[in-house]
Every structure is written in C-alpha cells, then in structure tokens.
Homo-oligomer: A and B are copies of this chain.
C-alpha cells in the first residue's frame, strides 16, 4: 500500500482500563473517533502513545488493531524506535507486513551521539527496510542533537528517509534551516500544535501531534492550504488558549487523555505508571478553558 503521508496526523493515545490493561475496545473507538474528526493519518506507538510502557506483544496488538480498524481509509505510521537496532528493524518489518505506510524512528539515547554515528544507525536500518522512514528529531527525550547540516546529509544518503518529524525548538527556524539545505524532506511539526500556522507558513507538509481536537487542526490546515489565510488565522487564534493549556510540560498527556475521555473517545483517562497525575485545580481549569473557547459539548465535533 502506498498512501501519501501528509497533512494532519494524529499521534494516537493508547487507552488503558482502570487496572492498566490495554483497552482494545477503546482503541478501536478512538481510531474511529479520530478519523471522524478528519485526521489525514495516524501515528501510533510514539512517546505520547506510551509505547515504552508496553510489552512487545501489546505493541503488536496495537498495530494490528489500529490498522484493521482503519481499514485502508488513511495511512498509518508506526513508531518503531528501540535501543536495539535489530528489534527496531524487526518491529519495522512487522509494521509494514501489517500494512503500515511508514515507520517513525528516533535514535536511542546513546553515548557520544556524533553525526557519523547517528547517520550510521539510519544507514544500518535502511539496509533492511526500503519503505518510508519518518526521521524523528526529539532531543528532549533522547539527547541526540540533529543539526540541519546532518539532516541534509542524511537525506542525501538514505533514499527512503523522506519524512522528518521535528520537536526541537525553535521549530520554525529549524524548518527554515533545513529547507535552505535540502528539499528532499516532507517536514512535520509538533509541539502540540502550538505553532501550526507558522510551521505551515515555513513550508511544513503538516503536523503530527496528539492534540485532542483534531478537527480544529484540520480546519486550520485546510483553510491555509486553500489560501483562506484569514480564516486559518481566526480559527487558530481562537482555539489557542486550549492548545496552549493542553501543551503544558510534564502533564500534557494526562490532560490530553482527560480531554479524550470527556470527548467520549475512550472509556477511561488512565495512564500507565509511572506518570504525573493532575490535581483538582487542573480538572477545573480544563472546564474553564473549554467554556472560554466555546466548546459546550466536547463529545460533539467542533463546528468551525
């Protein structure tokens, strides 16, 4: 299957039951929810999908459930990062065998992550898989700095590394620096959607983020792409208080799952241990913000 990886991808949360089991029913429900909200694709098993807190069997089950539920409606990108290169390759092969459109790979935390060693790692992976790789730039998580020069070299050397997911601020400056060096990458922003409009303005192909109101990002993206910039700005700026609130460091995923739970997209807001819980004040603030931006009933698709 060759599906275009572009536009607004939702980084899918992974639902758990109150006793921390994988909640497969909710997972199917969440997939359909995101597609109903207009997601151009799904990215699964990223950091925000709590992949590191799942067993290999559970990860496999998530891949199969999601791809089966999606049933070819949109492309699915699977996070397959692993400290063991062979396991990363095995997970990637399994993902493509199951029907993935691409795999997203960040280097593991490592000693002395020189450019040479990081490019070597992707080259090694690319000797085993020739399908699309989304290179994930995520220094807050792995401590690996990927410079624009290094990324341009990587694009030259590895023909299937054609997608780039950025998470290293300042993001717009980084998009600009990469664009000035190579046009080989489709670039995706992140940061919870905080700079979606400016990222698109710099030439991003879309974003991959877990923000709980996918339809808002989709509306912004479509208005921008169709030249209705005023409308894109109006929507983005109107919902920014919510985007910003969800995007708090440390507790962003806890808030996001609470929002998805309030939206009826999954049966429980549970995270796996260890995670940082939110207090009563944050629960109240979530209600306050939703009211401020005019979302009376979060279970409904926001009308824009």
Contacts from A to B (Cβ < 8 Å): 20, 52-56, 83-87, 90, 107-108, 110-114, 117, 120-121, 124, 147, 169-170, 172-173, 176-177, 194-195, 198, 201-202, 233, 236-237, 240-241, 244-245, 248-251, 272-276, 278-279, 281-282, 285, 288, 292-293
> Are A111 and B170 neighbours in the complex by a CB distance under 8 Å?
no
Q: Tell me the smallest distance from the CB of A82 to a CB of chain B, in Å.
A: 8
Cβ of A244 and Cβ of B56 under 8 Å apart?
Answer: no
In the complex, A194→B244 CA distance in Å? 8
Residue contact A84 to B53, C-beta cutoff 8 Å: yes
Determine if A274 and B240 form an interchain contact, defined as CB atoms under 8 angstroms apart: no
Given contacts A55-B90, A194-B244, contact A173 B282 (CB under 8 A): yes
Contact for A173 among B120, B236, B245, B251, CB less than 8 A: B251
6 example contacts (A-B, Cβ-Cβ < 8 A) are as follows A169-B250, A170-B282, A173-B251, A173-B282, A195-B248, A237-B293
Q: Which of A90, A108, A113, A244 has the most CB of B within 10 A?
A: A244
A274 and B108: CB pair below 8 A? yes
Residue of B nearest to A203 (CB): B281
CB-based contact B55/A86 at 8 Å: yes
Query: B285–A170 contact, CB under 8 A?
Result: no
CB distance from A245 to the nearest CB of B (A): 8
The reply to whether B273 and A172 form a contact with Cβ atoms under 8 Å apart is: no
Instruction: Knowing A90-B55, A274-B108, A274-B110, say if A249 contacts B281 (CB, 8 Å).
Output: no
Chain B CB count within 10 A is highest, among A114, A173, A251, for A173
Say how far A76's CB is from chain B's closest CB, in angstroms. Answer: 22
Q: Given the complex, which residues of B lie within 8 Å of A172, measured CB to CB? A: 281-282, 285
Cα A236 to Cα B288 in complex, Å, equals 14
Residue from A20, A241, A251, A273 with most neighbouring chain B CB atoms (10 Å): A273
Q: Is the CB of B170 within 8 A of A55?
A: no
Tell whether, in the assembled complex, residue B237 and residue A281 are in contact, meaning their CB atoms are under 8 Å apart. no
C-alpha gap A172/B87 in the complex (Å) = 33
Would you call B173 and A279 a contact (CB within 8 A)? yes
Shortest Cβ distance from A29 into chain B, in angstroms?
22
Q: CB distance A147 to B281 under 8 Å?
A: no
A232 → chain B closest CB, angstroms: 11
With both chains docked as a complex, state the minimum distance between the C-beta of A269 and any C-beta of chain B, in angstroms.
16
Is B240 within 8 A of A278, CB to CB?
A: no
- Known: A170-B276, A172-B281, A177-B279; 11 extra A-B contacts, CB below 8 A, are A53-B83, A55-B87, A84-B272, A110-B274, A111-B275, A169-B249, A170-B250, A172-B282, A194-B244, A201-B285, A240-B240
